[in-house]
Amino acid sequence: MTDAETRVLAHIDGRRAASVEEIRLAIRQPSVSRTGEGVAAMAASVRDALTALGADARLVPGDRFPIVEGTLVVDPALPTLLFYDLYDVQPAAGQQGWSVPPFAADMVTDAQGRERLVGRGAFNSKGPLIGTLATLRAFTEAGVALPCNFRFLIEGEEEVGSPGLPAYISANRAALAACDAAFIPYFGTNGRGETIIRLGFKGLVLVEFRVAGGDWGGPARGDIHAANGALVDSPSWHLVRALASLVDAQDRLVVDGLSDIVPPPASADLALIETAAQRFDAVAHRADLGVTRLKDLGSARALLSELMLTCTLNIDALQAGRIEEGEGAATLIPRTARALTDLRVVPGVAPEAVLGLIRAHLDRRGFQHVEVLLRSAYPASRATLDEPVVAALIDACSVHAPDVRVLPIHAGAAPMHWFSDVIGIPYAFGGVGHGAGSHGPDEYILVDDVVPFMKSMASFFYRFAQRRQAASGKTGPRC
């Protein structure tokens, strides 16, 4: 470790309180892309933070909310990292289970006596986003030069499917492709203290299944009296039966032909899963998730294979009719019934291919009138162990965390294919530090993990620069 790195790490220790406070301030600024609440203010705040770092930063239009872009060039001879993150969050209003207000950034002591910073976005993704910006600030404050250049791409629409990203990437492809690698910071330490590096992400496809009465049958004009259910098709029953045909008794997607298009897993991935299965702690995993029982799928290997090697379909929302105040509903055949779902696809499986199979599967069973509406889609993506950016992140985490493990994929989706496939640069995802509760109530990060997280980022920057330069002997400007 160089003297410069040592000085930066010491400075990160020294600014612990300031770093935590910076994250808390960001949580207190809601930025709910689903509703628009606070998004514009958060975008401005991130841009200002970049400007304060000395970056050339600005807001550029996304679909509905701006993308924060910027560059921070230390020395054109150094390699460049593309720092991707999101500044938007999922909604929390009306969500059951919060023990503190979701945008108060309260400190809560957990059962193990650890202090949690609780709030919407703490873990996904304001902790890592603001923690990484604080890391960059630590270099400036310590008077230490950054070991690489940065390009920033911080979007505010990730939680609604990144609708503005394609146009942005298309318009900036050359500049983005000139970066050496992308990275996405993450509090990657689980509840057992294992820091997990994942080599990819599943793809995410938002699909609405919708049945409305019409020429095929059912109420054609408006809801009709329930007594006619003996004679009139019910869109709700058709939706229920169509959905039920898509899964087995373990809720696994069993669409006709799907197994034929899922590539067989790579032996390297199976080996990573086998290693993970040997260490799998079901009790701790359940506690992390907030569940009493996992599905009864057999061995730990079976569970992890299911998680990492299969395409899944989750029901995000069901809606038909109206539940009134007082918890009753009018006795009607609702004209329309809907299910909002998210389909998660593994690498090598194109979203459109699965949608085509679902369409054919439903048609084959007489559900031609069940609409399958694509709301957004991006495919899975992969990184590999031998990329400098990946190896650097694993190295850096190993310096600051006792137990670093590698898994093939993250079942949580992120549009990393934009980097690996569209822009065509490798990426790495991870970092030291524990958090949990993404999208759910009482989302948190551990307060004591803010410093280790920042240290893992600082060390990652050094290792990336070293490995990248070693790999290419590169000295010229890229980004």
Out of 281, 306, 403, 448, the only residue in the binding site for a copy of itself (CB under 8 A) is 306
Pick the closer one to a copy of itself by CB: 303 or 392. Answer: 303
According to CB under 8 A, which residues from 7 to 46 bind a copy of itself?
34-35
- Cross-strand partners of 118: 106, 444
Task: Report, in Å, the least distance between residue 158 CB and a copy of itself.
Answer: 11
According to CB under 8 A, which residues from 255 to 294 bind a copy of itself?
285, 289-294
Out of 40, 226, 266, 350, the only residue in the binding site for a copy of itself (CB under 8 A) is 226
CA atoms lying within 13 Å on the CB side of residue 259: 6
Pick the closer one to a copy of itself by CB: 368 or 475. Answer: 368
Out of 21, 106, 141, 233, the only residue in the binding site for a copy of itself (CB under 8 A) is 233
414 vs 107: CA distance, rounded Å: 28
Task: Report, in Å, the least distance between residue 35 CB and a copy of itself.
Answer: 6
Chain-centroid distance, C-alpha 95: 19
Residues 6 or more apart whose CB falls under 8 angstroms from that of 477 comprise 76, 77
Task: Report, in Å, the least distance between residue 24 CB and a copy of itself.
Answer: 22
Pick the closer one to a copy of itself by CB: 175 or 284. Answer: 284
61 φ, ψ (degrees, to nearest 5):
-65, 135
Pick the closer one to a copy of itself by CB: 315 or 360. Answer: 315
**Per-residue CA distances from 241 to 163, 211, 296, 321, 345 (Å):** 31, 11, 24, 17, 23
What would the x/- binding string for a copy of itself be over residues 61 to 80, using CB under 8 A?
--------------------
Pick the closer one to a copy of itself by CB: 107 or 247. Answer: 247
Out of 217, 348, 356, 477, the only residue in the binding site for a copy of itself (CB under 8 A) is 217
445 vs 453: CA distance, rounded Å: 11
Task: Report, in Å, the least distance between residue 418 CB and a copy of itself.
Answer: 18
According to CB under 8 A, which residues from 83 to 142 bind a copy of itself?
90-91, 94-98
299 vs 455: CA distance, rounded Å: 36
Task: Report, in Å, the least distance between residue 194 CB and a copy of itself.
Answer: 17
According to CB under 8 A, which residues from 149 to 168 bind a copy of itself?
159-161
367 φ, ψ (degrees, to nearest 5):
-105, 40
CA atoms lying within 13 Å on the CB side of residue 72: 24
243 makes contact with a copy of itself (CB under 8 A): yes
Asked if 221 and 334 count as a contact pair (C-beta separation under 8 A), the reply is no
Taking CB under 8 A as the binding criterion, the range among 10-18, 68-76, 147-155, 247-255 that sits at the site for a copy of itself is 247-255
Using DSSP, state whether 283 is helix, strand or coil: helix
What would the x/- binding string for a copy of itself be over residues 178 to 207, using CB under 8 A?
------------------------x-x-x-
**Two tokens at 58?**
């600005």
Pick the closer one to a copy of itself by CB: 228 or 472. Answer: 228
Pick the closer one to a copy of itself by CB: 19 or 310. Answer: 310
Bond prior to 125 in cis (omega within 30° of 0): yes
336 vs 214: CA distance, rounded Å: 10
> How many CB atoms within 10 Å of residue 342?
17
- Total site size for a copy of itself, rule CB under 8 A: 103
Task: Report, in Å, the least distance between residue 370 CB and a copy of itself.
Answer: 13
Out of 45, 71, 104, 237, the only residue in the binding site for a copy of itself (CB under 8 A) is 237
Pick the closer one to a copy of itself by CB: 66 or 334. Answer: 334
Q: Which residue has the tokens 């298009």?
A: 261
Out of 52, 315, 374, 385, the only residue in the binding site for a copy of itself (CB under 8 A) is 315
According to CB under 8 A, which residues from 363 to 422 bind a copy of itself?
366, 375, 410-413
Intra-chain end-to-end CA distance of the chain, in Å: 27
| Largest pairwise CA distance in the chain | 81
Out of 48, 251, 363, 421, the only residue in the binding site for a copy of itself (CB under 8 A) is 251
Out of 109, 228, 259, 384, the only residue in the binding site for a copy of itself (CB under 8 A) is 228
What would the x/- binding string for a copy of itself be over residues 325 to 344, using CB under 8 A?
xx-xxxxxxxx-xxxx-x-x
Pick the closer one to a copy of itself by CB: 171 or 315. Answer: 315
**Per-residue CA distances from 123 to 86, 185, 195, 296, 429 (Å):** 12, 11, 15, 29, 14
Pick the closer one to a copy of itself by CB: 307 or 454. Answer: 307
**Two tokens at 48?**
């200002």
Residues 6 or more apart whose CB falls under 8 angstroms from that of 319 comprise 337, 338, 339, 340
87 φ, ψ (degrees, to nearest 5):
-110, 0
**Two tokens at 319?**
């809606």
Out of 442, 446, 458, 479, the only residue in the binding site for a copy of itself (CB under 8 A) is 442
> How many CB atoms within 10 Å of residue 283?
9
Asked if 165 and 204 count as a contact pair (C-beta separation under 8 A), the reply is no
Pick the closer one to a copy of itself by CB: 356 or 412. Answer: 412
**Two tokens at 18?**
């300031």
Task: Report, in Å, the least distance between residue 455 CB and a copy of itself.
Answer: 27
